[in-house]
A = this chain, B = another copy of it.
Amino acid sequence: MQDKITAILRKHQLSITEARKKILSLFWETGNALAHGDIEQKSSEDFDRVTIYRTLQTFVEKGIIHTIPTSDNSVRYALCKDECAAGHHHDDHVHFICDDCGTTYCIDEVSVPKVKLPKGFSAIQTDLVISGTCNKCEQ
């Protein structure tokens, strides 16, 4: 597990630091997407807030994590699959945010459908975000 994490950092040519290992392992352990605030709560005793901002930014740039847009001004981040690289994300799956528990899921098995845009518009990224009730909160 620690090996896996250092391997990811090495692969993306990032120096291996405590903060990066810890934040990466948080994503790995929870399995779901995390907001900046979530990470801060789970590691505020270990690291400064600023380090978290900078680490998340680095991870996005390197293609280690991707962003998930939200309507509550709290972007979520989730681990990318192997195909993602610096400057080129390939996370074309659907995202789900539970209104009950707030958990944000990468629904890897459902891919984002292609849509045809009006003349003059060209797409670089498409995000499909669904909110509702997740399988754990289903009554």
Q: Which residues does A use to contact B, with CB under 8 Å?
A: 67-75, 94, 96, 99, 105, 107, 109-110, 112-113, 115-136, 138
Contacts and interface: CB of A to CB of B under 8 A. Distances in A.
A68 B129 CA distance: 11
Number of copies: 2
Given A75-B71, A94-B115, A110-B118, A131 B124 contact: yes
Contacts of A122: 132-133, 138
A131 B125 CA distance: 5
A107 B117 contact: yes
Given A70-B69, A73-B74, A127-B128, A133 B115 contact: no
Given A69-B71, A117-B96, A121-B96, A130 B138 contact: no
Contacts of A107: 117-118, 121
Contacts of A119: 135
A105 to B, nearest CB: 8
